A and B are shown apart, each in its own frame.
Chain A
Amino acid sequence: MAKITYLEANGREHVVDVCAGLTVMEGARNHGVPGILADCGGNCACGTCRVYIDEPWLAKAGEASEVEAATIEAQEDAGPGKRLSCQIKVADELDGLVVRMPETQC
């Protein structure tokens, strides 16, 4: 179990306990956190579950695959630490993770 803070672009926080093995996207969806659409259901195919992660969490979240990198780079909101939340598996070492969501996913 990891405590994850989802931060909306307007500053509103959602602190959620997410089971290890789920993805950060599933954690949001299961708890009704707004701001993560995940149109493709977590298949790394749409880019609508984007989040921003600051160091040091970015390193702990693991490397983005080539398909993930090729999917997020074309999205218009830009900035360092952009990841697809459907591709980040929750593990105990992510306890305390803070993810920031873009103003819009679409």
Chain B
Amino acid sequence: MQRIDELELPYLPMEEAAFASNPWPQLAAAREAHPWLAKAAFGFAVHQFGAMKDLLWRDEYLQTRIDNVLEVMDADGTEWGRFEKYSLLARQGAPHERIRSVLAPAFTPRQANRHRPLMQGVISELLDEWVPRREFDFEEFASNFPIGVMCSLIGAPRSAIPELRSSLEALGLSFSMDRNHLPALENAMNVMNGFVQRLVAERKAARLPQGEEDLLEILLDTVERGDLSERELFDLLIFLFVAGYDTSKNALTLLMSVLIDKPRIYERCAEDKAYCRRVVEENFRYLTTSTIPRTVVKAITYRDVLIPEGTELFFPVSIAGRDPTAYDDPDSFDPGRKEIKKHLTFGMGGHICLGQFIARAQIEEGLHLIARRMKNPRRTGPSSWRPFFGVWGLKGLPFAFDPADLKEDARLDA
């Protein structure tokens, strides 16, 4: 048995912009050098699908230690640091279960399906506003969708979206491991704090009647029962916006970028919503957003490698789906693939993405209506890439399209 720090390992430069814009050659080279492990900035990267699948659920050994991120970001004593330190992601064991159990009933597949008409309404309104322009940055368009859905779920005014959008953009870089972003993170936290505190005060003054309760009502009832403090309520509301924003927006933008080059698949998405589900799941495998950081809190031996306590591991689930040891022909985009949901996009273990069913429903509904309203999408300029650490994705997707013929739309409705 060897200790992890005694192994001869390749280096995956995940912190470099060049890697973010094209990780595939270096990933292939890393696989050649070691089947599942590489060195990385701040620790080690587990790059093989099977190893991620074996390790990521083992909460007893691997936990998110926000202190390490805050140290890299030099964020001790900041409001953003406080928020992250006490966020759902940072909590473990009983404190995590307490908050998660408050939220779980509102995030089941059943609830996500109930929200589909609301999601259709939000994307339809956005399309009514944006389609006449015929050309815009798809990422900017897409960014309004998850915020709009979240505002609707908690009864927040849609007029708040522009202010929230810029703050959520900043907070999307929370786990970029780049301390230059700290002033923007701090400013964004102040904006989000002000927003949720106003929202709660207004709702307390005018509660919704029985039978019309939304997510905010459920959370306020939980505060009144003493199961959640008011500060925890504010932080949870901010967390829900942050967690659902750039992951969904980036996933939808990456999906559009892929489908621009696959017009037959895109066209079928306009006609067949059940097919959209397969397309969305395939893109969760093919090109997705997150790298999950974990700290080893109890030494673990895996494949005869001792990983001591304190080791920082990074799980780039964003690229796990291209692993040839896990998938046949991994570089081909195939919505007909068997076991279409065999991907790691939403993580594993007790911290598995709470909003996974909402995200799936939202992107499926969004894709279907976008494909119906925006025909023949094509790029009109280059995109750049967001930092690979944290929430990866495209920065900008300038594109043009032909607005749908409304008569054709009516035919599809019929």
Contact = CB atoms under 8 A, between A and B. Distances in A.
A40 B348 contact: yes
A45 interface: yes
Nearest to B114: A70
Contacts of A69: 110
Interface residues of A, number: 19
Interface string A69-89: 111011100000000000000
B155 to A, nearest CB: 22
B354 to A, nearest CB: 7
Interface of B: 57-59, 100, 104-105, 108-113, 338-342, 346, 348-350, 352, 354, 356-357
A96 B205 CA distance: 57
Chain A interface mostly = loop
A102 to B, nearest CB: 12
Contacts, number: 58
A105 to B, nearest CB: 8
A67 B109 contact: no
A45 B110 CA distance: 12
A59 interface: no
A106 B110 contact: no
Interface string A32-68: 0000001111011111000000000000000000110
A104 B339 CA distance: 7
A39 B110 contact: no
Given A38-B57, A45-B354, A106-B342, A67 B348 contact: no
B105 A67 contact: yes
Contact of B348 (A41, A44, A73): A41
Interface string A90-106: 00000000000000101
A106 B104 CA distance: 21
Given A46-B346, A70-B105, A70-B110, 18 more contacts: A39-B346, A39-B348, A39-B352, A40-B352, A43-B349, A44-B104, A45-B104, A45-B352, A47-B109, A67-B105, A69-B110, A74-B109, A74-B110, A74-B113, A74-B357, A75-B109, A106-B340, A106-B342
A41 B110 contact: no
Looking at B108, B338, B339, B340, the one whose CB has the most chain A CB atoms below 10 A away is B108
Given A67-B108, A70-B111, A40 B340 contact: no
A41 B109 contact: no
Contacts of B112: 74
